Each structure stands twice: as structure tokens, then as C-alpha cells.
Structure 1
């Protein structure tokens, strides 16, 4: 393999265009998972503005780009997926039929290992390092919103009927329900981030927006606009008041769901669910094929989905002492977390404990 490694600012316009072209044709080439916006050059370059160590390996064949491998590298050679922790799709974007050797790739990138937690399907050379696979629910809207809603009514009639009834009740109680698919007001983004931070604290989770780099990344992506990529802020209003909002990332065919939240004062109307139905309608009108709800076991995802993708977590390693030490530290934590999430008898008590901690924090 002929591999060149670049810092984000050094990636040429031609290489960036080639990367985008691979994503644009991914669904035609039998690899639709590569069209996810988290695998786009825009996401990698944005993370590079807010995090150190972002690199892009460009693999060439006969002088032409055949694959792009974005990653973050520490000084000791630990490689991580770009934006690990806030990225819902990871992997190597490549042309049809491209083959690579995982360890050779790591060696040429100066990595002892490569860690991932949302590896997309079809990354066969990385398969030996997979330690777990997980569903990522999807809402298919390629046949239009009405076709999606018909499938939803057939699969979950009570859920659909109840959600639509709550939307009507919200309108009766608080004024006309209005949906904006692509809201450009940064003040509404600030409101969404405040809701999400409060939700994290209320449920005892770590507040992602307490990290300056994540806040900066989100604001940067909100302002990113091109035909191939955009940050999409979708907002549900009751009268003039925003009651639910969501920031996601859009490629040409995929809307990746990212940060949803709502005003708890309107919780009885399930505004988050109403918002997701409106998002499906807006995405279908915008030419999107599907909404990727992301990895994670949530009741609302199970109710809204039409199918599931699969993402994986794990490490690809070389024989290197840094790889051994990193895995020794990280593997027990991951194993414990996944055991808790996958077993209701463990997850429910842990979830309740976190919520009690969250209440104590909120009172403080």
C-alpha cells in the first residue's frame, strides 16, 4: 500500500473531493454504511480544529486515492477513532473491492493499536479485533414519510396512535405545533445544549457539554453547510416556544441522530417522540434515505425503527507493549459497562442509582 499521512489542514482539495465522491457513491457500490456523515471529511476536519492528534491516512493505488483512514494518535502511538465518545460511525472509507491488511495499516500510520466503539459493517480486516457487536436502529424514509408512517402503524399501532394524539393535545393546550427541520438560530442551539446538560445531570450521567472541545465541535458543525454535509438543528415549537430539539449531521443520504433533548415541563406530551416523527417527515422531503438513531438500547428507538444496522467495538493491535498496556487498562471497564447494559437485572438498579445521584446533584 502507498500510504501518506496528513494533518487535517494539509489534506488537499483534490483528496477531500475524492473522499466525498467515495461517500456519494457508497450506496451504489454496495457499501451504504460508508455514507454516514461521521465518516465524512467535514467531521474529521472539524474534530481536528478542537482536538490534537487528528490524522488522515490516504491510501493510493496507481497514484489515485483508494481509501481514507481518519484517526487520532497520542504521542505513545495509541490510535483512536476520530471523535471517539461522540462519533457514531467509524472505519476506513474506501473504493469498491479495496483490500487492506490491518496491521500493515497501523504500522504505516505509526500506531500500536486502533480503538473503536462504532465500527461500521464491512470492515473485514478489522474483524479480528472486534470484542462486541451492537444494534444501531434505523428509520427508513427512502420511500417517503407516508410509507414510513404506514409501516410504523402496522408494527406499533398503539405507539403511533398515542404519539400522534399527544401532538394534537399539545396543540390544544399550548398553541399551534410548528416544526422547523433546519433551524438556523444559534440561540435555539444554546437552549438545546442547556436541556441536554440538565438531562445528563438529572440522570446521573457525565455532562458532555462540560467539555469545551465538545461544545466547540457542536457549534462548529452547526455552522457547517455544503451540498454533501451539514449540521441540522430540528426544532418542535408549541406556539412560539421550543419544546424539543435535536442536532444531527446530514450527508447526502443519511441523517445521523446525535443530540436530542426536550423541555421537561412538556414531558407529558412526549415532545421528543413527536419531534422524531416530524424529523422523519422532513428528512424524507429532503431526499434522505434513512435516519440512523445510533447505538444504544432505548425504548423510543425500538418503537421508531424499521430495521437495524450493526456496529462493533474493540481494538486492532500490533505486537507492541503500548498496545498490551492500553488493552489491559481499557478492557475490564468496557466489559463491565457492556455487561450492565445488556442485562436488565444489572442495568435497572444501576440506572436508578445514577438517577438518585442526579437528583442529589440537582438539589445541590
Structure 2
């Protein structure tokens, strides 16, 4: 098998067409994070972005997007942002991991949301994790809303009651699935940034390149990747918003946030329900909620996929050092997340730190301001 290495912007129309066909031929590769458009977006902001193209009989049959450092360590493209990673390939294609890493000039390739069906990488996975999804039309009669009412009748009644209440208190509720006003995207990023700070998490939108990437992906409108901004309004007031990419059949739940002054109405949950229902009317069959243990995901999911975390390596001193440094950090995080008795105190500690940080530094003007 021949392997060539390209910067994302160097991919030809032949490459892009073959990549899109590979996505269409295998349901596990239909996720928009696996589309070339996502790699192209990352490549605009990350100088180490590359794509390994696998060839059989002179034809491109597989694509691995990744990021490479000067030391020759690699990571799945958009690691920390992407909720789905894979070497996207035509059915029946296989590869040797060490040969692939050698062609890429990598001593190690780190991943954390790798499609579990990637058999050549199986021996390099340090763990498999649940990634909850929503089948927009689950098994049985009726649609998703009817399934949810049957599975969680109390949750459904409470959510509808709160939606009626916000309609009375604030204004008539309306929902826009594909909002094209960039001001609403900037508002979502401000809400999300404030949420990150309140809860003690890393503020992704404090990084200008992530803001620029999000704004770029918002403008992409292709069959295999479209940036979709959905907004829930009460009257003329935005209440909650979600931005995530979609392919022809899969919508990725990426950034969801809401007006914190209206938190008692549970606008985030309303947002997820409205988005899922509307996505089904626009041809989506699966909503990917992303890896992670959250109560709302347990409520909303119809089933789970599996994604892998790990390090593919070849013999090299840098690979050994990288693994020794990164694996304990990931192991500690996964231990905390897997045990509610540890996760709850850790979450409270992060929230306390976020409160102290916000009160100490105030609310500085953000890069996302209109």
C-alpha cells in the first residue's frame, strides 16, 4: 500500500470525492467530524495539520487526518474538540499501524474518540468508553418525542410545563433550527465562555483560534459538513442556542449554552429536545451527544456507541516519553469521571474555583464580543 502525506489544503477534488464516498459507504464514518471539511477548517489554524492518504492500485482509499509536532508526536486532528476520530476508508481496506506512523513521520499517535471498529488500532487502545447517541426515529411506533414520553414520562411532562411557563413569563416560544445570524453565534460563545468559567473548566473560547474556527465552520455548507446554529427564543429574547456540525445523516451535539438568568426553566434541555425533533425533519437520523457522563445524556440517549482512547506507537524514545507523560494524566481523569463519589466532589471543587476566579477577575471583554 502506498501512503502519501498532504496538508489539508493540498487535497485535490479527486481526494475529496474519494473521502466523501468512503463516508457514504460505512455508517460508522458518517459523522461530520470525520469529513474533510473539518480537517480543512483545522488546517486553517493549526500549522501541523496533515492528512495521510492510503492508495491501492493508484486510487485513494483511506484518509487519516492528524496533527504533527516538531518532535514527531501526533494526535488526532482537533483533539480536544473533535468527538469522533478515525482513519476513514473504503470497505475492506486495512493497514499496518507502524508502517502508517513511519509514513507520517510520527513516533506516537494519540486519540481519545476513535471509532471502535478501527481494528488495526485495537491493540493500541487503553480504554473503550460509551458515547451516547439519539436515534431520531427509535425502534417502535412513533418518533423520538413519543419514545421519550414513554421512557421518561416525568421528565417529558416537566419540560413541557416549563416551556409553557416561559411562554407566559417571557414570550411565545419559537425555535429556529438553522439560524444564519452570526450575532447569535457570538452570543452562544459568550454564554458558553461564561459557563466554562463558572464551572472551573478551560475556557475554549478564550483561545482566538477556536473562535475563528467556529466562525469559519458556521459558514461551511456542504453535503457532508454543514455548520448548524439552532436558537430557542422566548418572544424576541434568545433563551438557548446550540452550534454543531452535521453530515447528511448525523448531527453532532457540540456547543450548547443558555441565558443563565433563565436557568430555572431548564432551557438547555428544551434546546436538546427541539433540536433533535427538528433535525429529524431535516433528514438527520442520528444525533451524537459525544463521550461523557452527564445526566441529561442518560435521559436523552436511545443507545450508546463505543469510542477508544489510546496511543499508537512505534519504537522511539520520544514515543516512550510521551506515553509516560500523557497516560497517567488521562488515567487520573478517567478514574474521577468513572466514579460518582469522586466526580461529584471534583465538580464542586471546579465550580468553587470558577466562582472565585470570576469574582476576582470580573468579566473581561471577550474576543467574541459583537
Which aligned pairs between 1:77-226 and structure 2 lie closer than 5 A?
77-142=72-137, 146-226=142-222
- The residue that corresponds to 2:4 in the other structure is 4
1:134-172 CA-partner distances (Å, limit 9, x unpaired): 111111114699511121112111111111111111111
Give TM-score scaled by structure 1 length.
0.97
Distance 1:158 1:136 in 2: 25
Q: Residue in 2 aligned with 1:44?
A: 39
State the 1:50 CA deviation.
0.7
Is residue 21 of structure 2 the alignment partner of residue 21 of structure 1? yes
**Structure 1 unmatched runs, 5+:** 27-31
Greater CA deviation, 147-156 or 234-243? 147-156
Q: Does 1:250 align with 2:243?
A: no
Cα distance in 2, alignment partners of residues 12 and 227 from structure 1: 17
SS at 1:58 equivalent: strand
Q: CA RMSD in A?
A: 1.2
1:310 aligns with 2:271: no
Partner Cα separation in structure 2 for residue 25 and residue 177 of structure 1:
40
1:260 aligned onto 2:223: no
**TM-superposition CA deviations, 1:300-358 (whole Å, max 9, x none):** 01101101111111100001111001011111111111111111121111111111111
CA distance in 2, matches of 1:83, 1:323: 20
Relative to structure 1, is the Cα distance of residues 87 and 251 closer, same or farther in structure 2, using a 3 angstrom cutoff? same
Gaps of 5+ in 2: 361-370
Runs of 4+ off more than 6 Å: none
CA positional deviation for 1:121: 2.1
SS in 2 for 1:83: coil
Q: Secondary structure at the match of 1:99?
A: coil
CA contact (8 A) 1:103 1:318 kept: yes
1:348 to 324, 335, 344: 344
What is the CA distance between 1:25 and its match in structure 2? 2.5
TM normalised by structure 2 equals: 0.95
Offset from partner CA, 1:216-270 (integer Å, 9 cap, x none): 1111101111122110001000000101000010001100110000011111111
CA distance in 2, matches of 1:96, 1:141: 26
Aligned residues: 359
Contact 2:138 2:302 (C-alpha < 8 Å) held by counterparts: no
SS at match of 2:85: coil
